[in-house]
Amino acid sequence: MGISVTARLARAEDLDVLVHLYRRLEAEMVAIHPMWPRADGLEEPVERSLLARIDDSVSRLYLGEVDGYPLGFIYGRSETLLAHEGNTRIAAIRLVFVEEEARGVGVGEIMRDTLMDDFRGLGHELFDAHVLPGHRLAKNFFEAGGFSARSIVMHHSDRPDGGRRIGATFRSTR
């Protein structure tokens, strides 16, 4: 019997699993660039950020499941283009992650396609996805979904660590 790969909207009860998946993504992204948790990830405390996004009408958080077990998540939000574009909105996929042992079986694909269909249903025709440069896995994944690169962020740091994380100022209150 084949495995079942599905995607469903995340709920507040999923917070623990979402935090776990987010921390795994963060660890993988920090190894590629230390600016990620400071500029590209979620605001700390991430518990609060995730809950706010579950409740936010312009955000969508989906879990990807294999046989009903959550092994990935995707987060996208509706953003506006510049004012002269009127009310045109763009759906930006900000975060996507699948546990390493569940990769390559379509969890990412079903989450990406479900999220995009959700935003299409809200009238979106434009989609962005945020990926770190040199991250071939994510680049291939989005290219397989019909995306192509349109922008790259160059970074310079005057700090002696070359932009590396000197010390997190965040202290969890939990």
Applying CB under 6 A, the residues found at the interface with ligand COA are 25, 28, 95-98, 103-109, 131, 135, 137-138, 140-141, 144
The least CB distance from residue 107 to ligand COA, in Å, is: 4
Return d(Cα 108, Cα 141) in angstroms, integer: 8
What end-to-end distance do the CA atoms of the chain give, in Å? 43
Residue closer to ligand COA (CB basis): 79 or 171: 79
Sign of the C-alpha dihedral computed for residues 96, 43, 13 and 26 taken in this order = positive
Return d(Cα 157, Cα 155) in angstroms, integer: 7
Residue closer to ligand COA (CB basis): 25 or 61: 25
Closest CA to 130 of 117, 145, 149, 108: 149
Residue closer to ligand COA (CB basis): 136 or 171: 136
Residue closer to ligand COA (CB basis): 78 or 114: 114
The least CB distance from residue 9 to ligand COA, in Å, is: 18
Measured in degrees and rounded to the nearest 5, phi and psi for residue 108 equal -60, -45
The least CB distance from residue 4 to ligand COA, in Å, is: 14
SS3 state of residue 48:
helix
The least CB distance from residue 58 to ligand COA, in Å, is: 19
